[in-house]
Amino acid sequence: MLATLDLTTLTVTLTLVTLSMTMLLALAAWHAGTEQGLRHWVLGNCALMLGLLLNVNQQQLHHSLSIVLANGLMTLGLGVIWLGVRAFKGRSQPQWGPICLTALTMLLLWFFRFQINHFETRYAISSIALGGLCLLCAKELLIRAPQPLRTAYWFSGSIALLYGFCLVARPVAALLGWQQSLPLLDSPLQNLTLLGAMLAQIGMASGFILMTHYRTALALHRLSERDALTDTLNRRSMQEQARALLELMAQRNQPVTLIMVDADHFKRINDEFGHQTGDAVLCHLVSRIGQHLRSDDLLGRFGGEEFTLLLPGLDTERAAQVAERIRQGLCANPWQHKSQPVWLSVSLGVACSEHHGYDFNTLLGAADAALYRAKGLGRNRVELAPAPGSDLEDQMALRLLSQFRHNLDV
Protein backbone atom coordinates (compact mmCIF):
# COMPACT_ATOMS: atom_id res chain seq x y z
CA MET A 1 0.00 0.00 0.00
CA LEU A 2 2.80 2.42 0.91
CA ALA A 3 4.54 1.67 -2.37
CA THR A 4 1.51 2.84 -4.37
CA LEU A 5 1.38 6.26 -2.73
CA ASP A 6 2.57 9.16 -4.85
CA LEU A 7 5.66 10.83 -3.36
CA THR A 8 4.86 14.27 -4.77
CA THR A 9 1.33 14.17 -3.39
CA LEU A 10 2.62 13.15 0.03
CA THR A 11 5.20 15.94 0.05
CA VAL A 12 2.67 18.57 -1.03
CA THR A 13 0.28 17.33 1.65
CA LEU A 14 3.04 17.54 4.26
CA THR A 15 3.80 21.08 3.11
CA LEU A 16 0.16 22.08 3.50
CA VAL A 17 0.04 20.48 6.94
CA THR A 18 3.17 22.40 7.91
CA LEU A 19 1.60 25.63 6.62
CA SER A 20 -1.57 24.97 8.64
CA MET A 21 0.39 24.25 11.80
CA THR A 22 2.49 27.37 11.22
CA MET A 23 -0.62 29.53 10.95
CA LEU A 24 -2.04 27.92 14.08
CA LEU A 25 1.18 28.57 16.01
CA ALA A 26 1.30 32.13 14.68
CA LEU A 27 -2.22 32.72 15.95
CA ALA A 28 -1.29 31.27 19.33
CA ALA A 29 1.85 33.46 19.42
CA TRP A 30 -0.26 36.54 18.64
CA HIS A 31 -2.51 35.91 21.62
CA ALA A 32 0.28 34.72 23.93
CA GLY A 33 1.97 38.15 23.93
CA THR A 34 5.45 37.88 25.43
CA GLU A 35 5.36 34.10 25.93
CA GLN A 36 8.82 32.75 25.11
CA GLY A 37 9.21 30.06 22.48
CA LEU A 38 6.15 30.44 20.26
CA ARG A 39 7.80 32.85 17.84
CA HIS A 40 10.71 30.43 17.46
CA TRP A 41 8.26 27.65 16.61
CA VAL A 42 6.51 29.83 14.01
CA LEU A 43 9.81 30.76 12.33
CA GLY A 44 11.02 27.17 12.51
CA ASN A 45 7.88 25.88 10.82
CA CYS A 46 8.17 28.55 8.13
CA ALA A 47 11.71 27.35 7.35
CA LEU A 48 10.49 23.73 7.30
CA MET A 49 7.68 24.63 4.90
CA LEU A 50 10.02 26.47 2.49
CA GLY A 51 12.47 23.57 2.60
CA LEU A 52 9.72 21.09 1.77
CA LEU A 53 8.45 23.24 -1.12
CA LEU A 54 11.91 23.34 -2.62
CA ASN A 55 12.54 19.64 -2.02
CA VAL A 56 9.35 18.52 -3.73
CA ASN A 57 10.40 20.24 -6.97
CA GLN A 58 13.66 18.38 -7.59
CA GLN A 59 12.65 17.78 -11.21
CA GLN A 60 12.04 21.47 -11.93
CA LEU A 61 14.70 23.21 -9.79
CA HIS A 62 18.46 23.06 -9.78
CA HIS A 63 19.75 20.64 -7.16
CA SER A 64 21.57 23.45 -5.37
CA LEU A 65 18.09 24.69 -4.45
CA SER A 66 16.00 21.52 -4.23
CA ILE A 67 18.62 19.47 -2.33
CA VAL A 68 21.25 21.67 -0.71
CA LEU A 69 19.15 24.71 0.22
CA ALA A 70 15.99 22.65 0.86
CA ASN A 71 17.65 20.38 3.42
CA GLY A 72 19.50 23.36 4.90
CA LEU A 73 16.20 25.16 5.49
CA MET A 74 14.65 22.07 7.07
CA THR A 75 17.67 21.63 9.33
CA LEU A 76 17.57 25.30 10.30
CA GLY A 77 13.81 25.06 10.95
CA LEU A 78 14.18 22.15 13.36
CA GLY A 79 17.12 23.94 14.98
CA VAL A 80 15.00 27.05 15.58
CA ILE A 81 12.23 24.85 17.01
CA TRP A 82 14.80 23.38 19.41
CA LEU A 83 15.80 26.92 20.41
CA GLY A 84 12.11 27.66 20.99
CA VAL A 85 11.80 24.73 23.38
CA ARG A 86 14.78 26.04 25.36
CA ALA A 87 13.35 29.58 25.31
CA PHE A 88 10.01 28.29 26.59
CA LYS A 89 11.81 26.68 29.51
CA GLY A 90 13.77 29.86 30.23
CA ARG A 91 17.11 28.36 29.17
CA SER A 92 19.80 29.94 27.00
CA GLN A 93 19.47 29.75 23.22
CA PRO A 94 22.87 28.92 21.63
CA GLN A 95 21.99 30.20 18.16
CA TRP A 96 25.39 29.28 16.78
CA GLY A 97 24.54 25.57 17.17
CA PRO A 98 21.71 25.34 14.60
CA ILE A 99 23.50 27.78 12.30
CA CYS A 100 26.72 25.76 12.31
CA LEU A 101 24.83 22.47 11.85
CA THR A 102 22.87 23.96 8.94
CA ALA A 103 26.04 25.24 7.27
CA LEU A 104 27.81 21.90 7.75
CA THR A 105 24.82 19.96 6.38
CA MET A 106 24.59 22.17 3.29
CA LEU A 107 28.34 21.92 2.68
CA LEU A 108 28.31 18.11 2.90
CA LEU A 109 25.24 17.84 0.67
CA TRP A 110 26.86 20.12 -1.90
CA PHE A 111 30.05 18.06 -1.83
CA PHE A 112 28.26 14.71 -2.22
CA ARG A 113 26.13 16.07 -5.06
CA PHE A 114 28.44 18.18 -7.17
CA GLN A 115 31.88 16.80 -6.27
CA ILE A 116 31.04 13.18 -5.54
CA ASN A 117 27.52 12.34 -6.62
CA HIS A 118 26.54 9.79 -3.98
CA PHE A 119 22.83 9.70 -3.17
CA GLU A 120 22.98 7.27 -0.25
CA THR A 121 25.48 9.49 1.59
CA ARG A 122 23.30 12.57 1.09
CA TYR A 123 20.32 10.58 2.34
CA ALA A 124 22.23 9.60 5.49
CA ILE A 125 23.49 13.16 6.11
CA SER A 126 20.04 14.75 5.93
CA SER A 127 18.48 11.95 8.00
CA ILE A 128 21.06 12.22 10.79
CA ALA A 129 20.91 16.04 10.90
CA LEU A 130 17.11 16.19 11.07
CA GLY A 131 16.78 13.18 13.36
CA GLY A 132 19.46 14.49 15.71
CA LEU A 133 17.60 17.78 16.14
CA CYS A 134 14.36 15.90 16.87
CA LEU A 135 16.19 13.92 19.55
CA LEU A 136 17.56 17.15 21.05
CA CYS A 137 13.99 18.49 21.27
CA ALA A 138 12.93 15.25 22.96
CA LYS A 139 15.81 15.57 25.45
CA GLU A 140 14.60 19.05 26.44
CA LEU A 141 10.98 17.96 26.83
CA LEU A 142 11.18 14.56 28.51
CA ILE A 143 11.90 16.00 31.96
CA ARG A 144 10.19 16.32 35.29
CA ALA A 145 7.77 19.21 35.43
CA PRO A 146 4.69 20.19 37.46
CA GLN A 147 1.37 18.92 36.24
CA PRO A 148 -0.39 19.61 33.93
CA LEU A 149 2.65 21.06 32.12
CA ARG A 150 4.43 17.71 32.31
CA THR A 151 1.67 16.08 30.25
CA ALA A 152 2.22 18.53 27.39
CA TYR A 153 6.01 18.20 27.71
CA TRP A 154 5.90 14.41 27.51
CA PHE A 155 3.33 14.42 24.72
CA SER A 156 5.51 16.64 22.51
CA GLY A 157 8.74 14.99 23.64
CA SER A 158 7.51 11.46 22.93
CA ILE A 159 6.55 12.43 19.39
CA ALA A 160 9.92 14.10 18.82
CA LEU A 161 11.73 11.07 20.26
CA LEU A 162 9.85 8.57 18.10
CA TYR A 163 10.26 10.54 14.89
CA GLY A 164 13.89 11.33 15.67
CA PHE A 165 14.66 7.61 15.99
CA CYS A 166 12.82 6.95 12.73
CA LEU A 167 14.88 9.56 10.88
CA VAL A 168 18.17 8.37 12.31
CA ALA A 169 17.25 4.77 11.47
CA ARG A 170 16.42 5.56 7.82
CA PRO A 171 19.96 5.11 6.48
CA VAL A 172 20.34 1.85 8.38
CA ALA A 173 17.02 0.59 7.00
CA ALA A 174 18.09 1.55 3.49
CA LEU A 175 21.38 -0.30 3.83
CA LEU A 176 19.54 -3.39 5.07
CA GLY A 177 17.41 -3.38 1.93
CA TRP A 178 14.08 -2.40 3.48
CA GLN A 179 13.40 -0.10 0.52
CA GLN A 180 13.02 -3.29 -1.60
CA SER A 181 14.29 -2.97 -5.19
CA LEU A 182 12.95 0.55 -5.68
CA PRO A 183 15.04 3.73 -5.55
CA LEU A 184 15.14 5.35 -2.13
CA LEU A 185 12.99 8.30 -3.13
CA ASP A 186 10.24 6.00 -4.45
CA SER A 187 10.43 3.40 -1.70
CA PRO A 188 7.84 2.57 0.96
CA LEU A 189 10.43 3.71 3.49
CA GLN A 190 10.36 7.25 2.08
CA ASN A 191 6.55 7.28 1.98
CA LEU A 192 6.42 6.05 5.55
CA THR A 193 8.84 8.81 6.55
CA LEU A 194 6.61 11.48 5.01
CA LEU A 195 3.49 10.06 6.65
CA GLY A 196 5.30 10.04 9.97
CA ALA A 197 6.42 13.62 9.38
CA MET A 198 2.79 14.71 8.93
CA LEU A 199 1.73 13.04 12.16
CA ALA A 200 4.77 14.44 13.99
CA GLN A 201 4.09 17.93 12.66
CA ILE A 202 0.49 17.90 13.85
CA GLY A 203 1.36 16.28 17.17
CA MET A 204 4.27 18.56 18.08
CA ALA A 205 2.42 21.74 17.08
CA SER A 206 -0.54 20.63 19.19
CA GLY A 207 1.84 19.83 22.04
CA PHE A 208 3.43 23.28 21.83
CA ILE A 209 0.01 24.93 22.03
CA LEU A 210 -0.88 22.72 25.00
CA MET A 211 2.39 23.73 26.68
CA THR A 212 1.50 27.40 26.25
CA HIS A 213 -2.03 26.86 27.51
CA TYR A 214 -0.92 24.95 30.60
CA ARG A 215 1.83 27.50 31.32
CA THR A 216 -0.79 30.27 31.25
CA ALA A 217 -3.13 28.25 33.46
CA LEU A 218 -0.36 27.69 36.01
CA ALA A 219 0.52 31.39 35.97
CA LEU A 220 -3.10 32.35 36.58
CA HIS A 221 -3.35 29.82 39.40
CA ARG A 222 -0.20 31.22 40.97
CA LEU A 223 -1.57 34.77 40.71
CA SER A 224 -4.73 33.63 42.44
CA GLU A 225 -2.84 32.38 45.50
CA ARG A 226 0.21 34.67 45.73
CA ASP A 227 0.59 38.27 46.83
CA ALA A 228 1.52 40.34 43.78
CA LEU A 229 4.12 42.48 45.57
CA THR A 230 5.94 40.09 47.90
CA ASP A 231 5.19 36.75 46.18
CA THR A 232 4.11 35.30 49.52
CA LEU A 233 0.81 33.47 49.98
CA ASN A 234 -2.15 35.79 49.99
CA ARG A 235 -4.58 35.76 52.90
CA ARG A 236 -7.08 33.33 51.39
CA SER A 237 -4.43 30.87 50.23
CA MET A 238 -2.60 31.12 53.54
CA GLN A 239 -5.75 30.20 55.41
CA GLU A 240 -6.47 27.24 53.13
CA GLN A 241 -2.96 25.80 53.25
CA ALA A 242 -2.58 26.49 56.97
CA ARG A 243 -5.77 24.61 57.80
CA ALA A 244 -4.65 21.62 55.73
CA LEU A 245 -1.23 21.64 57.41
CA LEU A 246 -2.73 21.98 60.89
CA GLU A 247 -5.01 19.02 60.25
CA LEU A 248 -2.06 16.92 59.14
CA MET A 249 0.04 17.88 62.18
CA ALA A 250 -2.89 17.15 64.50
CA GLN A 251 -3.10 13.64 63.06
CA ARG A 252 0.62 13.19 63.68
CA ASN A 253 0.34 14.75 67.14
CA GLN A 254 3.20 17.15 66.37
CA PRO A 255 3.40 20.80 67.45
CA VAL A 256 2.75 23.73 65.12
CA THR A 257 3.55 27.36 65.87
CA LEU A 258 2.00 30.42 64.27
CA ILE A 259 3.91 33.72 64.28
CA MET A 260 2.42 37.11 63.48
CA VAL A 261 4.97 39.66 62.18
CA ASP A 262 4.20 43.37 61.89
CA ALA A 263 6.58 46.11 60.69
CA ASP A 264 7.04 48.92 63.21
CA HIS A 265 6.40 52.53 62.17
CA PHE A 266 5.91 51.52 58.57
CA LYS A 267 3.79 54.59 57.85
CA ARG A 268 6.82 56.78 58.61
CA ILE A 269 8.83 54.95 55.94
CA ASN A 270 6.11 55.57 53.35
CA ASP A 271 5.81 59.22 54.34
CA GLU A 272 9.55 59.90 54.42
CA PHE A 273 10.79 57.85 51.46
CA GLY A 274 7.68 57.27 49.35
CA HIS A 275 5.51 54.25 48.66
CA GLN A 276 7.92 52.72 46.14
CA THR A 277 10.58 52.54 48.82
CA GLY A 278 7.95 51.22 51.21
CA ASP A 279 7.19 48.40 48.77
CA ALA A 280 10.90 47.64 48.44
CA VAL A 281 11.24 47.53 52.23
CA LEU A 282 8.37 45.03 52.44
CA CYS A 283 10.11 42.82 49.87
CA HIS A 284 13.31 43.16 51.91
CA LEU A 285 11.38 42.12 55.01
CA VAL A 286 10.06 39.02 53.24
CA SER A 287 13.55 38.19 51.97
CA ARG A 288 15.03 38.39 55.47
CA ILE A 289 12.23 36.26 56.90
CA GLY A 290 12.71 33.69 54.15
CA GLN A 291 16.32 33.15 55.21
CA HIS A 292 15.09 31.57 58.45
CA LEU A 293 12.36 29.35 56.98
CA ARG A 294 12.42 25.72 55.88
CA SER A 295 10.89 24.30 52.73
CA ASP A 296 7.68 23.16 54.47
CA ASP A 297 7.09 26.40 56.40
CA LEU A 298 4.32 28.73 55.26
CA LEU A 299 4.64 32.50 54.88
CA GLY A 300 1.73 34.70 53.89
CA ARG A 301 0.87 38.37 53.74
CA PHE A 302 -2.07 38.88 56.04
CA GLY A 303 -2.62 42.51 55.20
CA GLY A 304 -0.62 45.71 54.79
CA GLU A 305 2.71 45.26 56.55
CA GLU A 306 1.52 42.27 58.56
CA PHE A 307 2.68 38.72 57.78
CA THR A 308 1.84 35.25 59.10
CA LEU A 309 4.25 32.34 59.51
CA LEU A 310 3.27 28.75 60.21
CA LEU A 311 6.10 26.53 61.42
CA PRO A 312 5.23 22.81 61.60
CA GLY A 313 7.16 20.66 64.06
CA LEU A 314 8.37 23.56 66.24
CA ASP A 315 7.24 24.06 69.83
CA THR A 316 6.98 27.44 71.53
CA GLU A 317 10.60 27.64 72.63
CA ARG A 318 12.15 26.77 69.28
CA ALA A 319 9.71 28.96 67.37
CA ALA A 320 10.49 31.88 69.69
CA GLN A 321 14.17 31.44 68.82
CA VAL A 322 13.31 31.63 65.12
CA ALA A 323 11.24 34.76 65.76
CA GLU A 324 14.11 36.36 67.67
CA ARG A 325 16.56 35.59 64.85
CA ILE A 326 14.18 37.22 62.38
CA ARG A 327 13.90 40.33 64.57
CA GLN A 328 17.65 40.63 65.06
CA GLY A 329 18.38 40.02 61.37
CA LEU A 330 16.07 42.83 60.31
CA CYS A 331 17.49 45.24 62.86
CA ALA A 332 21.05 44.50 61.74
CA ASN A 333 20.38 44.67 57.99
CA PRO A 334 18.58 47.85 56.89
CA TRP A 335 17.31 48.39 53.38
CA GLN A 336 19.61 50.64 51.35
CA HIS A 337 17.83 53.53 49.62
CA LYS A 338 20.23 55.52 47.42
CA SER A 339 23.10 54.67 49.78
CA GLN A 340 20.95 55.75 52.71
CA PRO A 341 19.93 53.02 55.17
CA VAL A 342 16.23 52.59 55.89
CA TRP A 343 16.05 51.02 59.33
CA LEU A 344 13.23 48.62 60.05
CA SER A 345 12.16 46.74 63.12
CA VAL A 346 9.32 44.29 63.66
CA SER A 347 7.11 43.10 66.45
CA LEU A 348 6.25 39.41 66.62
CA GLY A 349 3.59 37.38 68.38
CA VAL A 350 4.05 33.63 68.85
CA ALA A 351 1.33 31.05 69.53
CA CYS A 352 1.78 27.27 69.61
CA SER A 353 -0.64 24.37 69.28
CA GLU A 354 0.70 23.02 72.59
CA HIS A 355 -1.45 25.59 74.42
CA HIS A 356 -4.01 26.71 71.83
CA GLY A 357 -4.84 23.62 69.79
CA TYR A 358 -4.85 23.09 66.03
CA ASP A 359 -7.66 25.42 65.01
CA PHE A 360 -6.29 28.11 62.70
CA ASN A 361 -8.55 30.92 63.93
CA THR A 362 -7.72 30.14 67.56
CA LEU A 363 -3.97 30.15 66.86
CA LEU A 364 -4.30 33.33 64.84
CA GLY A 365 -6.19 35.08 67.62
CA ALA A 366 -3.62 34.01 70.22
CA ALA A 367 -0.68 35.16 68.06
CA ASP A 368 -2.49 38.42 67.32
CA ALA A 369 -2.94 39.05 71.03
CA ALA A 370 0.77 38.40 71.57
CA LEU A 371 1.59 40.78 68.73
CA TYR A 372 -0.48 43.54 70.30
CA ARG A 373 1.28 42.88 73.56
CA ALA A 374 4.63 43.34 71.81
CA LYS A 375 3.35 46.59 70.31
CA GLY A 376 2.02 47.79 73.64
CA LEU A 377 5.30 47.09 75.42
CA GLY A 378 7.33 49.24 73.06
CA ARG A 379 7.63 47.36 69.74
CA ASN A 380 10.71 45.62 68.30
CA ARG A 381 10.27 42.54 70.46
CA VAL A 382 8.98 38.98 70.51
CA GLU A 383 6.05 38.08 72.76
CA LEU A 384 4.57 34.66 73.47
CA ALA A 385 0.83 34.22 73.44
CA PRO A 386 -0.64 34.24 76.96
CA ALA A 387 -1.94 30.91 78.17
CA PRO A 388 -5.70 30.40 77.97
CA GLY A 389 -7.50 31.76 81.00
CA SER A 390 -5.10 34.65 81.69
CA ASP A 391 -6.45 38.02 82.69
CA LEU A 392 -8.63 39.21 79.82
CA GLU A 393 -8.73 42.78 81.15
CA ASP A 394 -4.93 43.04 80.95
CA GLN A 395 -4.99 41.72 77.42
CA MET A 396 -7.67 44.19 76.37
CA ALA A 397 -5.79 47.09 77.97
CA LEU A 398 -2.62 46.19 76.10
CA ARG A 399 -4.57 45.87 72.85
CA LEU A 400 -6.16 49.31 73.30
CA LEU A 401 -2.80 50.87 74.20
CA SER A 402 -1.17 49.28 71.16
CA GLN A 403 -3.97 50.47 68.87
CA PHE A 404 -3.68 53.98 70.30
CA ARG A 405 0.07 54.06 69.70
CA HIS A 406 -0.40 52.66 66.22
CA ASN A 407 -2.88 55.38 65.31
CA LEU A 408 -0.51 58.07 66.58
CA ASP A 409 2.52 56.19 65.16
CA VAL A 410 4.70 57.10 68.14
Which contacts (CB < 8 Å, 24+ apart) does range 249-253 have? 249/312, 249/313, 249/353, 249/358, 250/353, 250/358
Q: What is the pTM of this model?
A: 0.65
pLDDT, average across residues 270-282: 87
Alpha-carbon distance of 366 to 109, in angstroms, equals: 77
Residue 384 φ/ψ region, left for φ over 0, alpha for ψ in the -120 to 50 degree band, beta for the rest = beta
Q: Is the pLDDT of residue 251 over 90?
A: yes
Higher-confidence residue of 223 and 293: namely: 293
Task: Write out pLDDT tens, residues 134-159.
Answer: 999 999 999 888 888 888 889 989 98
Task: Write out pLDDT tens, residues 1-41.
Answer: 444 555 566 666 767 777 777 777 677 666 665 667 778 88
Which pLDDT value is given to residue 190?
61
Helix (H) or strand (E) holding 349: strand 346-352
Which pLDDT value is given to residue 176?
60
Task: Write out pLDDT tens, residues 309-338.
Answer: 999 999 988 999 999 999 998 888 888 877
Q: Give whole-number Cα distances, 118 to 121, 130, 170, 187, in Å.
A: 6, 19, 16, 17
Higher-confidence residue of 47 and 1: namely: 47
Q: Is the pLDDT of residue 243 over 60?
A: yes
